[in-house]
Amino acid sequence: MYPKRREFLRALTTLVVGATILIGDACVSVLANESAMPSPTEPLILDMVHHNPGGPRYQTKFEHPGFLRDEGYNGKVHFLSDSPTLAINWESVDPDILPAGSPERAWADAKATNFDRMLVECKTEGLRTYAEADMILLPKRLVEKYKMENSFGDPSDPQTAKFLRLMVGQVFERFPTLDGLVVRIGETYLQDAPYHVGTIQSKTNAATTIIPLVQLLREEICIKRNKQLVFRTWMSFDKSLINYLAVDSAVEPHTNLFFAVKHCEGDFHRGNPFSKIIGAGRHQQIIEVQCSREYEGKGAYPNYIANGVIEGFEEHQIKTNQNKFNSIGAFARQSPLFAGVWTWSRGGGWDGPYIKNELWCELNAWVMAQWAKDPRQSEESVFNRFAEEKLGLKGSDLGKFRKLCLLSADAVLRGKSGIHRELPPWWSRDDGINRPALPTDPVVRTSIAAQQREAVEMWQEIVRLAGEIHFADSDTADFVKVSSTYGLDLYRIYQAYINLNLAGLKADPEEMRDLLKKYDAAWNDYRDLSKDHPNCASLYEAHGARFGVGDGLEKVVAEFRRKAGTKQQMAAVQ
């Protein structure tokens, strides 16, 4: 479907970008007037690929605007490493900031040329274009020249505010077809910005940081330029309802201003509370949904979360006093503040696992995008369309696929954190495993062990179902079987590892040896799966995650081996 379109895009991109270069810094694009804003009743349906910061980019169909359009999206968010805030040359402000002929200038100019291409590709397919931007991020030479080392992270500082306004102005002058910026203050990534520095002071302080920054950007982006601002609440004013309402009341709503909110509090963990700020206040809200789940395999195994996001996760069925809603579906159907969804189809976090088939990510993304077009739809009706239209399933096969997907969500919850979050979920993330933080209450510890057993039993049922479903093509059938077995073997590793930690170093050595035998057997099966099936995702490593919390798995298990007097029985890593 896409080869001819890609050829056309390449030709058009060359034409338009070439014309842009000839015109110069004014960058008057031939598509400048084609950037239609959404109607007040049309939700934003955005997607972003979250590449690993500082690492190789994902090779994914979700980077192709034509594919996104066909999936149901009406906009694309470009990742931080492609941000136009990194691609402006500052020439009109101070030619010394990125001097002509310098490596910094060449780097920024290359960024600009690349972003020109991305904009043209999106506009050709009828997509709105947005770009992430960390605040506050400025060129090193600027900060040094104007002696802002101690002040540039403070948006209330007059000099900082001045340069922020200049930066926004340059972005939209250089890239006039850009529809808006998605601003983040929760973290600052510099892995892909070698000539910039970044920081934000007091990022959770509504009065001194959040309100001044939102007001400045609202004026520069929404009012002066009639562009859109999506301001992320994450790690700044997403957990405190009081803080959120303080920002909400201080900043006047605007049709071009949106607050982005993750559907659960904190990061994308199962077991975390449903966000209490969803539906609060006066401002339009866009809901962030991670489809490849950085703490839960990144698409390496079945993990269907769209049902829980839309209709309510198992752990969110009891609303707290502070929660207006316990699902995005209820919010969208009952509140005028619902403005759309923003999915992360791929990525999040760091490192692997790296997948070779995007089925499980696409299932989540497609259902979220198609549902957001009309939230009156049930999630199940949209899911069934995916199964029928994309996979060719019908009848009992469709029912089995539905059961498999719903079971995957139940198994992940029990194996990673527990129904009542008995197990803090940070012990496993990306492709690493760390020491779990276990509770001392014996009743809770018993519940954790029981849920680990339930999770494995559910994965066994998932594997059985995967073998019974008749898919339209053999590649999909094989991947569903392999990825389901991947989940089973990984959660067998989890079960043995958690049980070892529950038993503790004071356990009977014979019990330890039995648990270690099960642990090694699970690892051996897991590694054999990868050797035997080329479509298998990359494996979790037998050590801690790069940014994991606590000792790595390798250190923890070594302690048990020494105590039990056993040697490693796992097959060597291939």
3-state secondary structure 168-194: HHHHHHHCCCCCEEEEECCCCCCCCCC
Please answer whether residues 351 and 545 qualify as being in contact, where contact means their C-beta atoms are separated by less than 8 angstroms: yes
Examine the fold and report which residue of 199, 230, 256 is the final residue of a domain before the chain moves on: 199
Which two structure tokens, joined as six digits, stand for 433?
A: 């495993």
Q: Is residue 356 part of a domain?
A: no
pTM, entire model: 0.93
List, for residues 128-146, the tens digit of each pLDDT value.
999 999 999 999 999 999 9
Does residue 244 or residue 565 have the better pLDDT?
244
**77: CB partners within 8 A, 6+ apart:** 46, 47, 48, 130, 131, 132, 182, 342
**100: CB partners within 8 A, 6+ apart:** 91
List, for residues 395-424, the tens digit of each pLDDT value.
999 999 999 999 999 999 999 999 999 999
Query: Could you give the count of Cα atoms lying within 13 Å of 259 in the half-sphere of its Cβ?
Result: 29
Please answer whether residues 530 and 539 qualify as being in contact, where contact means their C-beta atoms are separated by less than 8 angstroms: yes
Cα 71 from Cα 65, distance rounded (Å): 10
Cα 144 from Cα 160, distance rounded (Å): 13
Q: Is residue 470 part of a domain?
A: yes
Q: Is residue 362 part of a domain?
A: no
Share of the chain above pLDDT 90, in %: 89
Q: Is residue 533 part of a domain?
A: yes
Please state whether beta strands 137-139 and 196-198 pair in parallel, antiparallel, or not at all (unpaired): antiparallel
Which two structure tokens, joined as six digits, stand for 220?
A: 């520069």
Q: Which helix (H) or strand (E) holds 571?
A: none
The predicted pLDDT at position 266 comes to: 93
Which two structure tokens, joined as six digits, stand for 265?
A: 């509090």
Examine the fold and report which residue of 167, 183, 199 is the final residue of a domain before the chain moves on: 199
Q: Is residue 384 part of a domain?
A: no
pLDDT, average across residues 427-441: 96
Q: Is residue 144 part of a domain?
A: yes
Q: Which residues pair with 128 in a beta bridge?
A: 75
Task: Find out whether the peptide bond into 210 is cis, omega within 30 degrees of 0.
Answer: no
Q: Is residue 299 part of a domain?
A: no
Cα 73 from Cα 48, distance rounded (Å): 11
| DSSP type of residue 251 | S
| DSSP type of residue 264 | B
Please, what sign has the CA dihedral across residues 460, 353, 134, 286? negative
Task: Specify the number of domains making up the chain.
Answer: 2
Q: Is residue 326 part of a domain?
A: no
Q: In the chain, count of helices (H) and strands (E)? A: 16, 12
Tell me the H-state helices in 232-340.
Answer: 241-250, 306-311, 328-334
The predicted pLDDT at position 568 comes to: 67
Angle between helices 474-503 and 509-532 (to 10 degrees): 160
Which residue carries 């490593």 as its tokens?
541
The predicted pLDDT at position 219 comes to: 98
pLDDT, average across residues 80-99: 98
pLDDT at 38 over 60: no
Q: Which helix (H) or strand (E) holds 458?
A: helix 442-468
Examine the fold and report which residue of 168, 183, 199 is the final residue of a domain before the chain moves on: 199
Residues for the chain: how many in total? 574
List, for residues 454-508, the tens digit of each pLDDT value.
999 999 999 999 999 999 999 999 999 999 999 999 999 999 999 999 999 888 8
Which two structure tokens, joined as six digits, stand for 15?
A: 């034409």
Cα 283 from Cα 255, distance rounded (Å): 9
**155 CB neighbour count, 10 Å cutoff:** 24
Cα 235 from Cα 238, distance rounded (Å): 6
Cα 444 from Cα 450, distance rounded (Å): 10
Which two structure tokens, joined as six digits, stand for 222?
A: 């929404």
pLDDT at 36 over 90: no
Kindly report the average pLDDT of the chain as a whole number.
92
Burial degree of 101 (CB within 10 A; 0-12, 13-18, 19+):
exposed
Q: Which domain holds residue 474?
A: 395-564
Which two structure tokens, joined as six digits, stand for 546?
A: 């790069």
The predicted pLDDT at position 29 comes to: 38
Terminal Cα-to-Cα distance of the chain (whole angstroms)? 38
